[in-house]
Structure 1
Amino acid sequence: MKVRKAVLPVAGLGTRFLPATKAMPKEMLPLLDKPLIQYVVEEAVASGIEQIIFVTGRTKRSIEDHFDKDYRLETQLEESGKNDLLKMVQDITDMVEIAYVRQKEALGLGHAILTAKNLVGNEPFAVMLGDDIIRTPKVPGIGQLLEKFERYQASVLAVEQVPMSQISSYGCIDAKEIAPRTFQVSDMVEKPPVDEAPSDLAIIGRYVLTPAIFPVLEKTPPGRGGEIQLTDAIKALGQSEGIYGYLFEGKRYDCGDKLEYLKATAELALLHDEFGPPLREFLRTLLR
């Protein structure tokens, strides 16, 4: 089975970034010169994904517009001789096939994935959350999980080691390491107290799932907050087929948190060929 599609749930309200997200989707917040969601789409494309399925909601139209063709803008850029900018805009439109489906009720991540069922069909697929921006030395984040899926032909979750003092903010896995950085998952616990956490391996926003998750999601009762939890469904799926965790190589930026978003902006700017040197010098003047 080959993974051709990725589901990107973007229907959330982004309340942690209010008032900035009152009229603008959180996924469109800029990280340097690109919106957050473009980094995620580019990661998918670099990993060989052929179709992106956005699960959207109200106020998310600007995401569709960003990846759509803008004839007026392209004409202006062409007439102005701004060919580099023209190519940049056209590349955004042409990078991948995109489909959209609307999540009409805010019933959780599991419900958002279930909403994409008809577009995914009976094939394995990736799930990528726009909050997590992943920088890797070689293979993109979701690409690392795709390699593990090809090896095991079973669902794979990206995990990250976090300090135990922070584990109660994540879902985490109880698992046995079966190969370097690769774990066979026996249980999953959502936001456990520190003294009840089975490990320091937190589940982050990258998954590769088999289509068997859909009938499980249909039977998964609402959990905390009346939402259908994806973690609950994956845990139930593990009763009938294997679930694996992979400790991805690279660095994750949690851009759903204001401070972490600022850190990501600063760090990526310092690594940027154009912005890095002058920004580094500016920061030195602040620290004198």
Structure 2
Amino acid sequence: MTETINIAVFPVAGFGTRFLPVTKASPKEMLPVVDKPLIQYAVEEAYAAGIRTMVFVTGRNKWSITEHYDVAYELENELEQRGKDEFLKIVREIKPGDMQVVYIRQELALGLGHAVLCARPIVRDRPFAVLLADDLLYNDGKPVMQQMVEVYNKHQQGVLGVQEVPQEHTKRYGIITEGARINEQVCTVEAIVEKPDPADAPSREAVIGRYILPGQIMGILADTKPGAGGEIQLTDAIEALVKEKTLLAYRYEGTRYDCGDKLGYLQANVEMGLRHPELGEGFAEYLAQR
């Protein structure tokens, strides 16, 4: 039976310690890139892929994410009364009418795998997507999650978004061992290891913050013991899953900005600022004068 991807999970309970002090009271996922918060870029990517149920796995001090996706009656009324239709349209488009938002609390910070497991009551046994808002992925044509959903629809197998990284950076990522190659962009995953030393890395193909996973992984996560850093690692559950079920690695088309890193976040603001329909030209002129 053909199954479609209609649920996306967004783990947003982390503390964002690398961005202190700004993240002391404000979620990292709400940091703006030009004029939109990081989480909105990820949600819009999922929505463009046809996904309509967005599950936010939240923690303490994440109330502003909830507010961002709630209806702001007073603001909308004020904009409407003042005839500011352009801004009213922007506010209303944050959450389209056919999009459902669900919030689940991750009470303890036990790792990415645990955060995904928290969504089990919603996901149940259905395939689902996971998007990490830290990774802002840009493609001026087809959004990356839409690309991955198309790969999933064709093969009916889970899909991991991957990119080639420098050898010395393998210790930052989950790194796959490539199996059978299907085409230039798609291969099966033979194994995956979390943050290997460059000398021990099985490849340079790193899993970035985009996944399409079968519901079966929830049972595996429930039995996964704490791994690196004393946390329940999603990579460990995927490693167990590939022993039971075929998973695909997809080398996506697009540019990744690592917004979990201050330099990557600044780069994202510059690049997205240059692409902004209203600001791009003036911003480019300013940069040229620097």
TM bucket, shorter chain = over 0.9
State the AA in 1 paired with 2:123: V
Structure 1 residues 226-265: aligned runs within 5 Å = 226-265=230-269
Q: CA deviation at 1:27?
A: 0.3
SS at match of 1:148: helix
Partner of 1:82: 84
Q: Does 1:123 align with 2:126?
A: yes
Partner of 1:50: 52
Partner of 1:185: 189
Q: Which runs of 4+ in 1 moved over 2 A?
A: none
Query: After the TM superposition, which of the residue ranges 59-68 and 142-151 deviates more from structure 2?
Result: 142-151
Spell out, residue by residue over 1:212-250, the C-alpha distance to the aligned partner (whole angstroms, 9 max, x if none): 001100111001222100000011011111011000011
Q: How far apart, in 2, do the equivalents of 1:185 and 1:126 lie?
A: 17
SS at match of 1:134: strand
Q: Kindly, what percent of the aligned residue pairs are identical?
A: 49
Q: Does 1:71 align with 2:73?
A: yes
Q: How far apart, in 2, do the equivalents of 1:94 and 1:208 lie?
A: 23
Q: CA deviation at 1:22?
A: 0.4
State the AA in 2 paired with 1:147: E
Q: How far apart, in 1, do the equivalents of 2:7 and 2:87 lie?
A: 29
Partner of 1:28: 30
State the AA in 2 paired with 1:93: K
Paired positions, count: 286
Structure 1 residues 199-210: aligned runs within 5 Å = 199-210=203-214
Q: How far apart, in 2, do the equivalents of 1:183 and 1:61 lie?
A: 40
TM-score (norm 1): 0.97
Partner of 2:107: 104
State the AA in 1 paired with 2:46: A
Partner of 2:140: 137
RMSD of aligned alpha carbons: 1.0
TM-score (norm 2): 0.96
Q: CA deviation at 1:157?
A: 0.3
SS at match of 2:21: coil
State the AA in 2 paired with 1:72: E
Spell out, residue by residue over 1:168-227, the C-alpha distance to the aligned partner (whole angstroms, 9 max, x if none): 211110003221200111111111111111111110000000010011001110012221
Q: CA deviation at 1:167?
A: 1.7
Q: CA deviation at 1:152?
A: 2.0
Q: CA deviation at 1:137?
A: 3.3
Which 5+ residue runs of structure 1 have no aligned equivalent?
none
Q: How far apart, in 1, do the equivalents of 2:95 and 2:45 lie?
A: 15
State the AA in 2 paired with 1:240: E
Partner of 1:224: 228
Q: Does 1:16 align with 2:6?
A: no
